[in-house]
């Protein structure tokens, strides 16, 4: 049995079969209408259009990278951007183009990471955004307790860089391209 609440009498009343059928018909009609509309929307959103949308959303620009670095609240964002420029040879390297890897990161084995594996002896990512997030995870484990730029550069020179001139090159990029001004 189906009952409704009558606000005037403040009682529950049994719903007659005819009233109940109208309610059921209304519910079925609603679901038919919404599923029909959803089917038309799904027909218009083809897989190609969805892929184009995702590609455009994840399309890399320096401005988007700067915005993402700001969003993540790194203590020394100019150094992070400088690393991305140095590691990717100003966003032209094979590792960046093929692996979406902005920082020359290797696949992490002792911390949480966002990489999908290793290609070309470096971590590869679904998107450049995942690369920045992975650097953020690296940063939170190894760099977040450093309080000065000197400590940061010392850490990079000792534990991060494979090139003995890495820190000097990084400082030169930061100075020549005035990266500090982008984060003020």
CATH number for the domain harbouring residue 150: 1.10.530.10
Instruction: Report d(CA 24, CA 33) in Å as an integer.
Output: 14
Q: Which of 130, 80, 79 is nearest to 100 (CA)?
A: 130
Residues 77 and 120 in one domain: yes
Question: What does the pLDDT look like over 145-159, one tens digit per residue?
Answer: 999 999 999 999 999
Question: What is the average pLDDT value for the chain, to the nearest integer?
Answer: 84
Tell me, yes or no, whether 52 lies in a domain: no
Beta-carbon-side half-sphere exposure of residue 17 (alpha carbons within 13 Å): 0
Tell me, yes or no, whether 49 lies in a domain: no
- Largest Cα–Cα distance in the chain? 87
Residues 38 and 101 in one domain: no
pLDDT at 7 over 90: no
| Strands (DSSP E) found in 36-151 | 117-119, 122-124
| This prediction's pTM | 0.70
Higher pLDDT, 28 or 176: 176
Residues spanned by the domain of 129: 59-183
Q: Which of 7, 172, 169 is nearest to 104 (CA)?
A: 169
Residues 22 and 89 in one domain: no
Residues 70 and 148 in one domain: yes
Q: What percent of the chain has pLDDT over 90?
A: 67
Question: What does the pLDDT look like over 40-97, one tens digit per residue?
Answer: 555 555 555 545 444 455 789 999 999 999 999 999 999 999 999 999 999 999 999 9
Tell me, yes or no, whether 51 lies in a domain: no
Query: How deeply is 67 buried, as exposed, middle or buried, from its count of CB atoms within 10 A (0-12, 13-18, 19+)?
Result: exposed
Residues 10 and 83 in one domain: no
Look at the chain and report how many structural domains it folds into: 2
By the 8 A CB rule, do 102 and 84 touch?
yes
Residues 100 and 146 in one domain: yes
pLDDT at 11 over 50: yes
Q: Which of 137, 140, 108 is nearest to 124 (CA)?
A: 108
């Amino acid at each position: 049995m189906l009952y409704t609440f009558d606000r005037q009498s403040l009682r529950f009343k049994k719903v007659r079969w005819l009233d109940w059928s109208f309610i059921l018909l209304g519910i079925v009609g609603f679901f038919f209408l919404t599923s029909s509309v959803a089917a038309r929307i799904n027909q218009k959103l083809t897989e190609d259009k969805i892929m184009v949308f995702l590609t455009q959303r994840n399309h890399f620009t320096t401005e988007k990278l700067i915005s993402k670095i700001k969003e993540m609240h790194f203590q020394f964002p100019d150094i992070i951007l400088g690393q991305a420029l140095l590691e990717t040879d100003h966003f032209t390297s094979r590792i960046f183009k093929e692996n979406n890897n902005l920082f020359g990161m290797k696949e992490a084995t002792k911390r949480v990471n966002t990489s999908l594996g290793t290609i070309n002896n470096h971590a590869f990512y679904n998107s450049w955004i995942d690369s920045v997030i992975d650097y953020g995870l690296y940063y939170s484990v190894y760099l977040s307790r450093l309080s000065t730029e000197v400590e940061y550069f010392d850490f990079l020179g000792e534990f991060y860089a494979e090139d003995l001139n890495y820190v000097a090159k990084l400082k030169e990029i930061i100075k020549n391209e005035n990266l500090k001004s982008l984060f003020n």
